[in-house]
Amino acid sequence: MKSPLLTLPGAVPAEGVDEGVAAHYGDLFREQRTLADGTGFVDLSHRGVVTVSGPERLGWLHLLLTQHVSDLPPHQATEALILSANGHIEHALYLVDDGETVWAHVEPGTREALIAYLESMKFFYRVEVADRTADTAVVHLPAGSIAEVPEGVVVRETPYGRDLFLPRGDLEAYAEKTGPAAGILALEALRVEQHRPRLGFETDHRTIPHELGWIGGAVHLQKGCYRGQETVARVQNLGKPPRRLVFLHLDGSEVHLPTPGTEIRLADDGPDGRKVGFVTTSARHFELGPVALALVKRNVPVDARLVAGETAAAQETVVEP
């Protein structure tokens, strides 16, 4: 969906997965500072919105998700994954229950597959799954924001800010009252700084939750069975994940950022050294300079000097080896 906020002054459309909203509004670093200071908002109206209603919604979702949600209190935000039978990450849901309905926003382009899976698992449970993307837009308010939330709007409040499930028809009026607007690139730079993984960016077809540090935050280790739980339990109790998420400080003298998928090598092995990982997200941060998240092999020493493509990189540990 193309956001009406792309008509705001300075708006530059995002590309790729985030197409449909603004990448920035003319000043990337100013927009980052605005969010870091707890002001402004980010238009996330391109994200999918899915609801689950009915008296058995929480118990039913508890059987499908990696998170413990059977007793989820109203208005308490959480996040959860759906795994394949082999434990690989297929979906990430950002949830809140309003007392009658579970609201979730999901990555662009994933809602149809998610809804198809949920519908296939309904059986005789008293639940209703609905695609609310056409009438509901997600808006992000940064942590510390004192912006007004319209009455009746469902809110996910997290340490990183508040996600509003706003009626899509109210988006332009709310933006005018709540500005300034910040683009998706500003939010992505802060996400990288906070070491938070994103489905489709830090994940590929074989990613398991342990590799990204999603254990605890999105995966509950003391809940009942769900698809893929055997892999989660086996890695937790008997082994280590094959890869681990790292945060990279990149050489600031380089003009271009390494793009997602850029190979990472050990600096001491020279230009022909073997690949030990790849960049997943890169960004220019208003304070830290060029930074990135990456997946590397678990046995890469935590103090090893790395090279991302042609760019020198110093790593910080996100997931312990």
What is the model's pLDDT at position 254?
A: 76
Residue 94 has pLDDT above 80, yes or no: yes
What is the model's pLDDT at position 61?
A: 98
Confidence of residue 234 (pLDDT cuts 50, 70, 90): very high
Residue 127 has pLDDT above 90, yes or no: yes
What is the model's pLDDT at position 298?
A: 96
Q: How many whole angstroms separate alpha carbon 288 and alpha carbon 272?
A: 29
Segment 19-32 mean pLDDT: 97
State percent of the chain over pLDDT 70: 100
Residues of the chain with CATH 3.30.70.1400: 48-131
* Inter-residue contact 249 to 257 (CB < 8 Å): no
What is the model's pLDDT at position 58?
A: 98
- Judge residue 46's burial from the number of C-beta atoms within 10 Å of its C-beta, 0-12 exposed, 13-18 middle, 19 or more buried: buried
Confidence of residue 180 (pLDDT cuts 50, 70, 90): very high
**Mean of pLDDT over the chain:** 96
What is the model's pLDDT at position 273?
A: 86
Which of 122-160 are b and which e, b meaning 16 or more Cβ less than 10 Å from the residue's Cβ?
Answer: eeeeebebeebbeebbbbbbbeebebebeeebbbbbeee
Residues of the chain with CATH 2.40.30.110: 242-320
pTM, entire model:
0.96
**242-320: which CATH topology?**
Elongation Factor Tu (Ef-tu); domain 3 (2.40.30)
Segment 143-161 mean pLDDT: 97
Segment 179-186 mean pLDDT: 96
Let me know if domain 48-131 sits in CATH 3.30.70.1400.
Answer: yes
